[in-house]
């Protein structure tokens, strides 16, 4: 959703379940335009992936600079499905999650587990 969304190179993107060594490498779609004989080098960065929505934590790593505004779509037939997404950002800037323009407060930090508490 950033201004440079059609010419930023973030791919490939690696997504993997936390605690495992397996990671899927996702590449962006083909160019969105064609300039006669040459590709226009314009592409929307979209990375579809199938994941298990049973509450696991997924690590996402970008090989290029990650966008400041990302959109995630989670489709499931199970109304209790959920997951944690962890993104390795190169900077320590403030981040927030919004749903329908409403900011979602973070889960409380649990000192015992050194992780955020359960999703409520």
Rounded distance between C-alpha atoms, residue 85 and residue 67, angstroms: 15
pLDDT at 30: 67
Judged by DSSP in three states, 116 sits in: strand
Q: Tell me, yes or no, whether 61 lies in a domain.
A: yes
Q: Is residue 113 part of a domain?
A: no
Least confident window among 5-9, 74-78, 101-105, 114-118: 5-9
Is residue 116 one of the residues assigned to a domain? Answer: no
Give the residue, 8 or 56, on which the prediction is more confident.
56
- Strand 82-87, strand 54-62: pairing: parallel
Q: Evaluate if residue 37 carries a pLDDT over 80.
A: no
Which pLDDT score, from 0 to 100, does residue 6 have?
64
Q: 105 vs 44, 79, 97, 102, 109, CA distance in Å?
A: 29, 20, 8, 10, 12
- For the chain, the domain total comes to 1
Where does the pLDDT of residue 23 fall: very low under 50, low under 70, confident under 90, or very high at 90 and above? confident
Range of the structural domain that residue 36 is part of: 13-93
pTM assigned to the model? 0.65
């Amino acid at each position: 959703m950033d201004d440079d969304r059609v010419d930023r190179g973030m791919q490939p993107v690696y997504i993997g379940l936390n605690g495992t060594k397996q990671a899927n490498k996702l590449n962006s779609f083909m160019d969105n335009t064609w300039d006669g004989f040459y590709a226009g080098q314009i592409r929307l960065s979209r990375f579809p992936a199938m994941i298990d929505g049973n509450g696991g934590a997924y690590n996402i790593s970008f090989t290029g600079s990650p966008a400041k505004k990302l959109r995630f779509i989670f489709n499931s037939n199970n109304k209790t499905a959920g997951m944690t997404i962890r993104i390795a950002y190169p900077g320590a800037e403030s981040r927030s999650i919004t749903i329908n323009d409403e900011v979602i407060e973070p889960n409380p930090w649990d000192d015992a587990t050194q992780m955020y508490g359960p999703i409520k």
